[in-house]
Amino acid sequence: MERTYLMIKPDGVQRNLIGEVVSRFEKKGFTLVGAKLMTVSKETAETHYAEHKERPFFGELVDFITSGPVFAMVWEGENVISTARTMMGATNPADAAPGTIRGDYGVQVAMNVIHGSDSPESAAREISIFFTEEELNSYDKTI
Ligand code: CMP
Distance from first CA to last CA of the chain, Å, rounded? Answer: 19
Residue spans of beta strands (DSSP E) within the chain: 3-8, 31-38, 70-76, 114-116
Ligand 1 centre distance from Cα of residue 86 (Å): 17
* Best CA proximity match to 10, nearest among 59, 45, 52, 47: 45
Q: Is the CB of 57 under 6 A from ligand 1?
A: yes
Please give the pLDDT value at position 139.
Answer: 84
Pocket test for ligand 1, best of 4, 57, 66, 105 (most atoms within 8 A of CB): 57
Is the CB of 60 inside a 6 Å radius of any atom of ligand 1? Answer: yes
Helix (H, G, I), strand (E, B) or coil at 70: strand
- The answer to whether residues 96 and 106 touch, using CB atoms and an 8 Å cutoff, is yes
Question: Is ligand 1 within 6 A of the CB of residue 102?
Answer: no
Phi/psi of residue 46, nearest 5 degrees: -65, -35
Using CA atoms, how far apart are residues 59 and 53, in angstroms rounded to an integer? 8
pLDDT at 142: 72
Query: Tell me, what DSSP letter sits at residue 98?
Result: B
Quick check: is 48 catalytic? no
pLDDT tens over the chain, length 143 residues: 999 999 999 999 999 999 999 999 999 999 999 999 999 999 999 999 999 999 999 999 999 999 999 999 999 999 999 999 999 999 999 999 999 999 999 999 999 999 999 999 999 999 999 999 999 998 887 76
CB contact at 8 A, 97 and 103: yes
Decide: pTM greater than 0.90: yes
CB of 92 sitting under 6 A from ligand 1: no
Residue 71 β-bridge partners:
8, 37
Atom of ligand 1 nearest to the CA of 60: 20
Compute, in angstroms, the gap from residue 34 CA to the centroid of ligand 1.
Answer: 24
Who contacts 142 (Cβ-Cβ below 8 Å, separation ≥6)?
none
* Annotated catalytic residue, options 115, 116, 127, 131: 115
- Tell me how far apart the alpha carbons of residues 109 and 93 are, in angstroms, rounded to a whole number: 6
